[in-house]
Amino acid sequence: MLQKTYHITDFSDGSLEAALAEVAAMDAYQSAAQVLAVFFEQNWDTAEIERQLGLIRQTLPKAETAGVTHFHGLLGYEQIATLRCFDLSFLFFE
């Protein structure tokens, strides 16, 4: 198994598209028997996450997806409301 992880802070800057292009070009993606894309998101609009998942599925059709909404309970509400994250890990299985 091989794992590749990306931390996306802004969907409008092209970083997700660049990450997906990098994964699509990887030998590990091309030769993997199975690919799992696991994402952890915090404070993104549901419709935005659905759009980004559509992009992931379109760009990397071989990848199965699973996700988790993340809540960091150690921070105060004011801090949580301003933090956004979208961490995306790809697991490649032989």
The residue ranges of every structural domain in the chain are: 2-93
Looking at domain 2-93, its CATH class is alpha beta
- The structure's pTM equals 0.83
Specify the residue for token string 């909404």. 69
Give per-residue pLDDT as tens, 7-16.
998 899 999 9
Instruction: Count how many Cα atoms sit within 13 Å of the Cα of residue 26 in the half-sphere of its side chain.
Output: 18
Low-confidence spans in the chain with pLDDT less than 70: 70-83
Distances (CA, A) of 43 to 8, 11, 24, 65, 75: 13, 13, 27, 19, 14
Give per-residue pLDDT as tens, 73-87.
555 555 555 567 789
